[in-house]
Amino acid sequence: MRGNMRKLLIGLGLLIGMLLIFWAAIGPDWRRLIKNATTSKDVLFWSQSERHAGFRMMDRLPFLIKANTIAPGDEVSALPAGEPLPADIQALINSHMETTRVASLVILQDGKLRHEQYGLEFGPKGRWTSFSVAKSFTSTLVGAAIKDSHISSLDDKVSEYISGLKGSAYDDVTIEQLLTMSSGVQWNEDYSDPESDVALFNAQEPENGESSLVSYMRKLPRSHPPGEVWNYSTGETNLIGVLVREATGKTLAEYLSEKIWVPNGMEAKATWLLSPDGEEISGCCIQATTRDFARFGQFILDGAMINGESILPKGWIEQATFAHKQTQRGGHGYGYQWWTNPDGSYEASGIFGQGIFVDPSRNLVIASNSNWTSAIGSKDNEYAARSVFYQAVQAALD
């Protein structure tokens, strides 16, 4: 009896030891995820603790969602150190990061790194999900596809490229109207409503050999004539992604790697989450380091130049960042999947506090990732606080 007890205790000790070794070996990200385990694919309705664990490793959850790799090249574009920001703004940065739950902040001016700071147990080598910041990447790929002669014109009808939309409300919608979210097709983007289009479209089953997205979007009714009314629609950015794939014959991850990630010298591998059909969700969800998000902002600020030539058509960036439509969101206008500001600055913006802010007049780029209390930051007014923060940085630089 005494011998059996001794063997049992030794066995338990070994088991506990192995579990402790496993717990240490899997690393802090997986330990955090296990503590806040979720099996829900509906990120909109994750708790804050689930988001805290999941946003940094969305592309490492194959039981929930898969991703395509955006491969970097061998050469990395340097971010040389610039002059540190004025000392009196550090307290503001610390307060902003704490109150709006910022995981990462990178500030570039004149292409130089003037400030970099991390929170929420995140770091410079980690990838954080972009949400709708990806929309500005997707629209840039449209410009590249036009420059590469894969797309003839922004005046082309969407259904010329996506055959499954023929006979739908999108028959009369141009590519430019998709880019400016003025198709006039009905769409509900209410992140708090589980019955909204943005919550339901990804659960659509594919029909008639078409993708699930096209199967969902072709059923939507018309609310307004094309081009007249602005209405924010992630579904339509997802259609833009389908259009780029159809036009180029490449996945979005491949095309982004070819046109921007490799030639612009992005530092790290990135990923793009996939729909159940295995296609990139082009209105959402690029995972990248914050430095590489900042590099993308600098790339656009510098005219999207590679080896002295822009990858975009002449005048594209000016049109993409011009307020083609006025919105109901804090005085912003809307260009080609970029939010515009009255002072000439413009932004890529994603729910829960992801952003790339570009100010050409100050040669300034601010990239940040966060875990706000809600999708649009309404509970603690984080969205407004971020705008105030951008303005404070501008004033400090002046």
Q: What percent of the chain has pLDDT over 90?
A: 76
Do both 385 and 249 map to the same domain? Answer: yes
* Residue 86, burial from CB neighbour count under 10 angstroms (0-12, 13-18, 19+): exposed
Do both 7 and 133 map to the same domain? Answer: no
Report the pLDDT value the prediction gives residue 78, as an integer from 0 to 100. 93
| Distance in angstroms (rounded) separating the CA atoms of residues 106 and 295 | 10
Do both 131 and 269 map to the same domain? Answer: yes
What does DSSP assign to residue 328?
Answer: S
Is the CB of residue 336 less than 8 Å from the CB of residue 139?
A: yes
Span 92-104, pLDDT tens digits: 999 999 999 999 9
Identify any residues that bridge with 280 across adjacent strands, giving them in sequence order. 274
Domain count, the chain: 2
Do both 132 and 261 map to the same domain? Answer: yes
In a domain, 90, yes or no: yes
In a domain, 200, yes or no: no
What does DSSP assign to residue 279?
Answer: S
Span 326-359, pLDDT tens digits: 998 778 999 999 999 999 999 999 999 999 999 9
Do both 295 and 360 map to the same domain? Answer: yes
pLDDT band at 119 (very low <50, low <70, confident <90, very high): very high
Please report the DSSP string for 206-253 in residue order: P-TTS-HHHHHHTTPPB-S-TTT-----HHHHHHHHHHHHHHHSS-HH
Taking alpha carbons only, the member of 73, 15, 65 closest to residue 42 is 65
| Rounded (10°) angle between helices 234-248 and 133-147 | 30
Report the pLDDT value the prediction gives residue 331, as an integer from 0 to 100. 80
Report H helices in 84-184: 90-99, 133-147, 175-179
Query: Furthest-apart CA pair in the chain: how many Å?
Result: 86
Report the pLDDT value the prediction gives residue 234, as an integer from 0 to 100. 95
Structure-token pair, residue 271: 């990923």
Structure-token pair, residue 339: 């939010």
Question: Last residue of some domain: 23, 39, 58?
Answer: 58
**Residue type, position 333, single letter:** G
Is the CB of residue 148 less than 8 Å from the CB of residue 157?
A: no
Do both 45 and 129 map to the same domain? Answer: no
Question: Last residue of some domain: 15, 35, 58?
Answer: 58
Q: What percent of the chain has pLDDT over 70?
A: 89
| Distance in angstroms (rounded) separating the CA atoms of residues 359 and 344 | 7
| Distance in angstroms (rounded) separating the CA atoms of residues 130 and 283 | 10
pLDDT band at 204 (very low <50, low <70, confident <90, very high): confident
Do both 149 and 7 map to the same domain? Answer: no
Report the pLDDT value the prediction gives residue 376, as an integer from 0 to 100. 86
Do both 252 and 339 map to the same domain? Answer: yes
| Distance in angstroms (rounded) separating the CA atoms of residues 31 and 20 | 12
Do both 75 and 42 map to the same domain? Answer: no
- CATH number of 309's domain: 3.40.710.10
Residue 39 pLDDT greater than 60, yes or no: no
Report the pLDDT value the prediction gives residue 31, as an integer from 0 to 100. 57
| Distance in angstroms (rounded) separating the CA atoms of residues 368 and 197 | 27
End-to-end Cα distance, the chain: 81
Do both 254 and 304 map to the same domain? Answer: yes
Report the pLDDT value the prediction gives residue 61, as an integer from 0 to 100. 82
Do both 37 and 93 map to the same domain? Answer: no
Residue 9 pLDDT greater than 70, yes or no: no
Residues present in the chain in total: 398
Report the pLDDT value the prediction gives residue 6, as an integer from 0 to 100. 66
**Residue type, position 14, single letter:** L
Do both 387 and 281 map to the same domain? Answer: yes
- C-alpha to C-alpha distances, 224 to 92, 197, 219, 323, 358, nearest whole angstrom: 44, 17, 15, 20, 32
Taking alpha carbons only, the member of 222, 216, 214, 219 closest to residue 242 is 214
Q: Residue 22 sits in which domain range? A: 2-58
3-state secondary structure of 368: strand
The whole-number average pLDDT for the span 363-368 is: 98
Question: Last residue of some domain: 16, 36, 58?
Answer: 58
